[in-house]
Structure 1
Amino acid sequence: MKDLRCYLLLFCLTAGFLVGFSSQETPKKATWIWQTELIETKTAEILTFAEEHGVNLIYLRIDPQKTYSYYRPFIREANAAGIEVHALGGHPLWALKEHRERILHLLDWVKNYNRAAGSDEQIKGVHLDIKPYLLPEWNEDKPSVLSQWMGNIEAVTSAARKDVQLEVSADLPVWLDDTFVPDDPEMTISKWMISKLDHITLLAYRNAIDGSNGIAALVENELREADELAKPVIIAVNIKEIPGEEHTSFFDAGAEEMERQLALLPERLGSSHPSYAGNAVHDYVNWSKRAPVKKKLKRGTYIWQAELVISEPEKILAFAKSHKINLLYVRLDLQQPYEAYAEFVGKAAAAGIEVHALGGHPGWALEQNRDRMMKLVHYVQAYNNSVEKNQQFRGIHLDIEPYVLPDWYEDTDSVLRQWMDNIKAFVAEAKQAADLEVSCDLAFWLDGTSVPGDPDTSFSKWMIQQLDHITIMAFRNYAGGRGGIVHLVEEEIGYANELGKELIVAVEMKQSHEGEFVSFYEHGKAEMERQLAIVTEQLGKQPSYGGNVVHAYDYWKNAKE
């Protein structure tokens, strides 16, 4: 046995160096999804949560009764977001030899799935959650259970490496460093498991790092063993409620305290243990319930060419994904049948992108053109009633700029009154028997224009009050300073805060002849992103700030880098 132990050590050290195991690799942030059914309807929600919380590894329970096609969309989206998916399975009985086939069946399922799946839909590994210490046999004949468990692990790791390279990992409790391999009192079970598996996830279920019973103390032995074997160890904590064992969970302390404690681990453990590979939180459902709600900022664009969502839907969705867009204002051709838009809107929704129907014209501010606005509303209402829920438009967005009309200069108050009446009619009609979000574009300088007959009320404030959100056209190519984007929207942000409404800031990428300070056309995408980051940093704490949109898709797509 000692010769075998030496061989294992030499093999693992060599393998570790060959695959480049290093503490400098991107740390893992993992979670478990036990409820397989969640991926059917909650893909966007799960992946948004993962992005917001730095999750790059998901242990997803596999139900082998479901078809491969059931899993492909979720795994494809996760891989595209830089999140590995490992097939999760396990039961205390899986430690016993008589149930070995259940482990191998999961492994075979993953191998067959990967053979049938595209390169962007691959499952990267198999993760086992086997807790034999919950079996009666553990207390009756522990050495026998340990030997069978070891045999099953040996079988699955050997089978995983036969014809394909699948990572095999497992959950382990922290106390196995005090449990020894049968007939070898010098080899702990923890070290033996570490030597066999590609990584272990150590269940260090405590709610504090320090102290004799804290996380750091509990994982010390396993990290030393893993250092010696050049194997990665992920440290897991729990946020599920455990009545009577509150010290084993962050349920009472909360998600923010858990994140604070986890943030200390890289320096505390990583500096002295190259095997420390990151953290895991058990599990997604309980974590998502306890995590503070983070406002999801909008990031959007306009699609003015109605034909594009029909002629190049995949290009638009690919652009949206690569630019992290989650809001599209899409102009509609009302002559098109409803099915012309249904597939695009459904695919966008599956990718976490809201689609709002876009329409507008300067003349829509005038009473004589109100029916043109209503045609858009009625089309969207009828469309939404005829398609599946996931294919419905989330809202209607208007772009009405009457200040380019001669009427504006001839009788501004008359145009404002007609515009206000049209907006009130639009909101009333859109909200009738429909859950449609209503919004519109607004020029930043309208905060200096008063409501006719009410000199104390800004027209901007009146408009913000009527609608669910306003998109302020703050067309400047710099964020800070006087006349910059943040300065231009100060009044509107204040109104929206007061009224409890959302405000989105729009910037321009189209070439402009109104001054070199208006558009990012000459500066390009990178500079625009830099300035928008400043806008978000400076406005992010304002409750009404809802994010940014770029005008427009075709200009942004073709902009210089």
Structure 2
Amino acid sequence: MSRSLAALLVAASLNTQASAAPAPRAIWTWEEDSYAMLDRPSAVEEALAFFKAHGITTVYLYADSFRERNDIVDDPRRYKATIKRLHGAGLQVYALLGSGYLQTERYILPSFRALAIAMVRRVFDYNAKAEADERFDGINLDIEPHILDEWSAKKLELLGNFLDMSAAIMAEKRRYGQAIDIGPAMPFWWDGIELSWQGKRRRVSEHTQDLYDYVALMDYRDHAHGPDGLISHASDEMAYGMKAGKRVLLGVETTPNEIQKVSFNHLTEADMERELAAAEAHFKNQQAFGGFVVHHYRGYRRWLEKQTKPTR
């Protein structure tokens, strides 16, 4: 075998290995679990072992007040130590903002807009004072207007409020001049709603993708293929992401849901991995594909633990 042929074969092998690298995976980590990690190094190590075992590359770490604590302001050393440890293990860390505890779905309303701005500003202020390895790499906003009681009667108005809030948040990012990616958790069905906003009529999903750096698409289905599957529901957002130069992560659910097809909870880990592999194979050559995000750390663990318990 000639040296040139051998070199080509080695290069091809390396390229094949590189292309076979799994897609990135993020995980939503809610209030109690995030604060546990702030409080106890042992909880961080336990989480790290879990993340590494399940291919998690980015942690969405809750970064707002909970049960009369707001450590990002009152005790930022806890965040610094936790983020530094996670970074040291090779993970990225995004500030997770939005909370049922705080009823942040109200933040889209003009009368609550100041609270939304203050919420992201605290992350910007934290990052400005932290060392490079202690800073958040991004922000994920989980603020869902469809939770509001008046959703059915004022859907378009509330979606316009959401876009107004989003524009204000991104303007604040520009004012601070921080290089930090910000994106929302967005329902896949927003691509079926058209809205006129700031003189442009287009799908709500497209308005949202235009505003933010990325979206974590709540693509909650328990199968990849078919007209009601992960691939179909993400295709429009992925196509627009390619056009706009924005990343799209596919969100999947592992916690129980009364609508069976919404979650993998009634299936096994092998089932979920098979369906995610199918979705990844479909989207892997599209630059907008940013991997997956799993909902959520505690629920995911409980689901997996349930599968390992011996049956009687």
Q: When the two structures are superposed, what TM-score results if normalisation uses the length of structure 1? A: 0.48
* 1: CA distance, partners of 2:267 / 2:85: 32
Q: Which residue of 2 aligns with 1:476?
A: 221
Kept in 1: contact 2:23–2:280 (CA 8 A): no
Q: Which residue of 1 aligns with 2:310?
A: none
Kept in 2: contact 1:367–1:419 (CA 8 A): no
**1:468: Cα distance to partner?**
0.9
* 2: CA distance, partners of 1:207 / 1:350: 39
Aligned equivalent of 1:301, options 10, 15, 27: 27
Q: Which residue of 2 aligns with 1:207?
A: 4
The equivalences for 1:9-158 within 5 A come to none
* 1: CA distance, partners of 2:55 / 2:21: 15
* 2: CA distance, partners of 1:533 / 1:465: 28
**Is 2:63 the counterpart of 1:332?**
yes
Aligned equivalent of 1:508, options 226, 247, 253: 253
* 2: CA distance, partners of 1:307 / 1:403: 27
**1:257: Cα distance to partner?**
5.6
**1:351: Cα distance to partner?**
1.7
Q: Which residue of 1 aligns with 2:96?
A: 358
**1:208: Cα distance to partner?**
2.5
Which residue identity does 1:313 align to in structure 2? V
**Could you say if the C-alpha distance between residues 206 and 519 of structure 1 is closer, same or farther in structure 2, counting changes exceeding 3 Å?**
same
Which residue identity does 1:490 align to in structure 2? S
Which residue identity does 2:215 align to in structure 1? I
Higher relative contact order (CA 8 A, sep 6+): 2
**Could you say if the C-alpha distance between residues 456 and 420 of structure 1 is closer, same or farther in structure 2, counting changes exceeding 3 Å?**
closer
Kept in 2: contact 1:507–1:550 (CA 8 A): yes
Aligned equivalent of 2:290, options 523, 546, 549: 546
Kept in 1: contact 2:64–2:97 (CA 8 A): no
1:276-329 deviation digits (Å, cap 9, x = unpaired):
xxxxx9xxxxx9xxx989998320110012312223111111111111211111
**Is 2:157 the counterpart of 1:414?**
yes
Report SS of the residue matched to 2:150: helix
Q: Which residue of 1 aligns with 2:301?
A: 557
* 2: CA distance, partners of 1:437 / 1:455: 24
**1:531: Cα distance to partner?**
1.0
Aligned equivalent of 2:143, options 396, 400, 405: 400
Kept in 2: contact 1:413–1:452 (CA 8 A): no
**Could you say if the C-alpha distance between residues 423 and 333 of structure 1 is closer, same or farther in structure 2, counting changes exceeding 3 Å?**
closer
Aligned equivalent of 2:184, options 440, 445, 449: 440
> Which of these two proteins has the greater Rg computed from alpha carbons?
1
The equivalences for 1:348-387 within 5 A come to 348-360=86-98, 361-387=104-130
* 2: CA distance, partners of 1:354 / 1:378: 20
Q: Which has the higher helix share?
A: 2
Q: Percent identity?
A: 26
Runs of at least 5 residues in structure 1 that lack an aligned partner in the other structure: 1-203, 210-249, 251-255, 264-280, 282-286
Kept in 2: contact 1:364–1:370 (CA 8 A): yes
**Could you say if the C-alpha distance between residues 470 and 526 of structure 1 is closer, same or farther in structure 2, counting changes exceeding 3 Å?**
same
1:467-509 deviation digits (Å, cap 9, x = unpaired):
1110111111011112011011111111111111100000000
1:14-36 deviation digits (Å, cap 9, x = unpaired):
xxxxxxxxxxxxxxxxxxxxxxx
Report SS of the residue matched to 1:325: coil
Report SS of the residue matched to 2:262: coil
Runs of at least 5 residues in structure 2 that lack an aligned partner in the other structure: 99-103, 308-312
Kept in 1: contact 2:29–2:61 (CA 8 A): yes
Aligned equivalent of 1:345, options 83, 106, 112: 83
Q: Which residue of 2 aligns with 1:427?
A: 170
Kept in 2: contact 1:297–1:547 (CA 8 A): yes
Aligned equivalent of 1:320, options 39, 51, 69: 51
**1:341: Cα distance to partner?**
1.0
* 1: CA distance, partners of 2:230 / 2:283: 10
* 2: CA distance, partners of 1:445 / 1:530: 24
**Could you say if the C-alpha distance between residues 379 and 446 of structure 1 is closer, same or farther in structure 2, counting changes exceeding 3 Å?**
same
Q: Which residue of 2 aligns with 1:259?
A: 11
**Could you say if the C-alpha distance between residues 294 and 523 of structure 1 is closer, same or farther in structure 2, counting changes exceeding 3 Å?**
closer
**Is 2:272 the counterpart of 1:528?**
yes
1:175-226 deviation digits (Å, cap 9, x = unpaired):
xxxxxxxxxxxxxxxxxxxxxxxxxxxxx993324xxxxxxxxxxxxxxxxx
Q: Which residue of 2 aligns with 1:229?
A: none
Name the stretch that deviates more: 406-415 or 298-307: 406-415
Q: Which residue of 1 aligns with 2:231?
A: 486
**Could you say if the C-alpha distance between residues 257 and 490 of structure 1 is closer, same or farther in structure 2, counting changes exceeding 3 Å?**
same
Aligned residues: 285
Which residue identity does 2:300 align to in structure 1? W
Runs of 4+ in 1 over 3 A off after TM superposition: 291-297, 453-456
The equivalences for 1:223-262 within 5 A come to 258-260=10-12
Backbone CA RMSD of aligned residues: 2.4
**Could you say if the C-alpha distance between residues 206 and 433 of structure 1 is closer, same or farther in structure 2, counting changes exceeding 3 Å?**
same
**Could you say if the C-alpha distance between residues 456 and 434 of structure 1 is closer, same or farther in structure 2, counting changes exceeding 3 Å?**
closer
**Could you say if the C-alpha distance between residues 296 and 429 of structure 1 is closer, same or farther in structure 2, counting changes exceeding 3 Å?**
farther
* 1: CA distance, partners of 2:45 / 2:226: 39
